[in-house]
Chains A and B, each alone.
Chain A
Amino acid sequence: MRHQWFLVLMVAMLVLVGCAPAAQPTPVPAPAQAQQQAASQPTPVPTTPPTAVPTEAPAAAPTEEPTAVPTEAPQAAVEPVQLTGAGASFPYPLYSRWFYDYAFRNPSARFNYQSIGSGGGIRQITAKTVDFGGSDALLTEEMKAAAPGLMQLPTVAGAVVLAYNVNDAAGTAVPTGLKLTPEVIAGIFLGQITTWNDAQLVELNPDANLPDQDILVARRSDGSGTTFLFTSYLSQVNEEWKANVGAGTSVEWPVGLGGRGNEGVAGIVRAQPGSIGYVELAYATENNLSYAYVRNQAGIFIEPNLSTTTAASNAAVADMPEDLGQLLVNAPGDDSYPIAGYTFLLVYQDMDDCAKARELISFIEWALSEEGDKDALELLYAPLGDAVKAMVFERLAGMTCAGGQPIPSR
């Protein structure tokens, strides 16, 4: 008996000790390949990621033989710089894709981004437990005072859509394209419009044959950048909303059923007939939910998609504030979808670690390049317009490290 527990302990130790180094060789084939590729290309031309064989690749990036492309991030010869970030969940899928692809181009840096929510991201970057933060909400004056020198850099834009699940009076599902005005949206979320065949809804959608069914409002129960965008929009377009509810990452909802996260709201809408809720565009399309066209400032009903989101970004660029903290709600322009917003990377203008600062800057420059845009489009995020990109690059150029030192070059 005594031998047995000893044996078990030994085995456990062996597994623990053995697994760590034994597991590492697995990705070793990758660096060899990566180095071969690097050797075959004298200039630091980026290699293409697997599967993402470009259809409209920039001329500078030659198409690789797909079999030669490593399927795992290469292990650098020197220990790579590890950068840690945390924050908004909305851009998480894109960021993880970006960091994955970027690891092929620059094996000297590893970026680790975890989705803990915008509020958490702001707190962690303020406490400096992470090297950069992510947020969908704007920094308030209070937050800026708590974290002096923190910049918000837009990376991509996203749209918040009104997803619904309702069958018309004949029993067939109402498809994407129900028309909604700001007043009607506010009316629904204020609890004033309670049935699908309300006169205001029927007037906007005479052909939809809307049923005599109660509207179930789905909204977020947790603090969220999506809620911030949506309530900011309603506050701008509706006085009653502004006076009674207001804008914020979480608000006192007059009506509705709360779901945790975008996925929670999407889940309610999918499961409950007669429901309507606000989610990020990607969640609506990935969950095959129908969503509404919303009337914009110019009076046109706009389908939420990447080009109407980019249009909103371009139309609003003239009003971009100095700190880049701009909401894209109710943007002017015929093609602008009215409920959109940027997601931001939160970066200190003066970073403590010079090597990290250098890697972060070159990553952001890459992410906002044509290649980064390609990843964004594939995952349904709207890339920034050139004017906004130029503003971000300007901020990057003004960065310093270790108390005012210039950023070292490679």
Chain B
Amino acid sequence: MSNSLWRKFVNVLMHAASALSVLLAVTALLAVLGYVLLNGFSALNTDFFLRLPTPVGIPGGGVANAIVGSMIVIGLATLFAAPIGLGAGIYLSEFGDNWFGDLVRYLADVLSGVPSIVVGIFAYALIVSRQGYFSALSAGFALGVMMLPAITRTTEEMLRMVPTTLREGALALGVPRWRTTVSVVLPMGMGGVVTGIVLAIARVAGETAPLLFTAFGNPFWNVDVAKPIATLPHTVYTYAISPYADWHAKAWGTALVLTGFVLCTSLLARRLGRQRHLS
């Protein structure tokens, strides 16, 4: 076989192999989505979104408290992680070209690799066992810790993409450094930063492990952040391991709602990201 024929053969082979890989990856995603949709759709109805959960043997009921609970916990996590992550990101991009900046970057990367169950235990030890009760607040803290490195690093990346010439222009006009950062750099990079925050939300929305020993779960309504609260991933977990078909159906329905939420958040993030480039 001549050299060029061989190279063509390898080319075709590699093309086929990568196409197959793409197909497998997409199939896995579609299979998961399809399976959740198939099993979960029949569980959905208005009661499912508006009612409290019912125990085994009592028909009807929904996961309204878990939907609201998840929103509260994610809201708390964002309130906790967004300002700190934003501040850390600004520091790293604008003032972080030194050993301390490198250290912070390294630690943020390590933190993002910490298993979620460990973050849960951390929040339990730091908040729950000291306060003596499970709470939405501790869950928000746990998820916030998980969001923190993602927000820090995307903020840094996004602000670094703002051209240096803009900073120099502002400084040349006699604008102080802090003013340059707040009025020039931050507004330019804000679209990307918000995208990063939304992506971080999508990433932690489905986390179960940090919630087991913080949010704890609650079959009743609760909007008090100092009390145990129901969340979607935890609801899926509890329902899925029960022996009852009725609860399994609800677990699928809840999984569908959760998947839908994460998907929508990711799509929102993509949209935000694209608009930034267009403008």
Contacts and interface: CB of A to CB of B under 8 A. Distances in A.
A86 interface: yes
B43 to A, nearest CB: 17
Interface stretch (B29-37, B97-105, B127-135): B127-135
Given A5-B272, A116-B212, A26 B56 contact: no
A129 B220 contact: no
Contacts of B272: 4-5, 8
A199 B61 CA distance: 52
A112 B223 contact: no
Contacts of B275: 1, 4
A378 B57 contact: yes
Contacts of B216: 84, 86, 112, 114
B260 interface: no
A348 interface: no
Contacts of A4: 191, 272, 275
Contact of B57 (A5, A27, A86, A97): A97
B29 to A, nearest CB: 25
A24 B243 contact: no
A112 B134 CA distance: 11
Given A84-B228, A89-B241, A92-B242, A100 B129 contact: no
Interface residues of A, number: 55
Interface string A54-97: 00000000000000000111010000001010100100110011
A261 B241 CA distance: 8
With a 10 A CB-CB cut-off, give which of B51, B54, B228 has the most chain A CB atoms.
B54
A110 B279 contact: no
Contact of B218 (A1, A21, A51, A112): A112
A51 B59 contact: yes
A266 interface: yes
Contact of B68 (A12, A20, A82, A86): A20
Given A16-B72, A128-B132, A112 B217 contact: yes
A97 B55 contact: yes
Contacts, number: 128
B276 interface: yes
A23 B64 contact: yes
A32 B204 CA distance: 38
Contact of A51 (B58, B128, B223, B268): B58
Nearest to A263: B241
A100 B219 contact: yes
Nearest to A103: B220
Interface residues of B, number: 49
Contacts of B194: 5, 8-9
B72 A20 contact: yes
Contacts of A75: 221
A249 B217 CA distance: 25
Interface in A6-25: 8-9, 12, 15-16, 19-21, 23-24
Contacts of B71: 15-16, 19-20
Contacts of A127: 129
Contacts of B220: 73, 103, 110, 112
A26 B51 contact: yes
A262 B129 contact: no
A49 interface: yes
A88 to B, nearest CB: 13
A93 B58 contact: no
Contacts of A114: 216-217, 228, 238
A52 B223 CA distance: 30
B221 to A, nearest CB: 6
A349 interface: no
B183 to A, nearest CB: 12
Interface in B194-250: 194, 198, 212-213, 216-221, 223, 227-228, 238, 241-245
Interface in B44-92: 50-52, 54-61, 64-65, 68, 71-72, 75
Given A5-B194, A263-B242, A129 B58 contact: no
B223 A20 contact: yes
A173 interface: no
* Residue among B56, B198, B238, B241 facing the most chain A CB atoms (10 A cut-off): B56
12 contacts: A1-B191, A1-B275, A2-B187, A5-B191, A19-B68, A84-B216, A110-B220, A112-B217, A114-B217, A116-B212, A129-B128, A129-B132
Interface of B: 50-52, 54-61, 64-65, 68, 71-72, 75, 128-129, 132-134, 187, 190-191, 194, 198, 212-213, 216-221, 223, 227-228, 238, 241-245, 268, 272, 275-276, 279
Query: Ordered nearest first, which 10 A-B pairs have the shortest CB separation?
Result: A97-B55, A286-B243, A16-B75, A96-B55, A5-B194, A1-B279, A20-B223, A283-B243, A100-B55, A23-B68
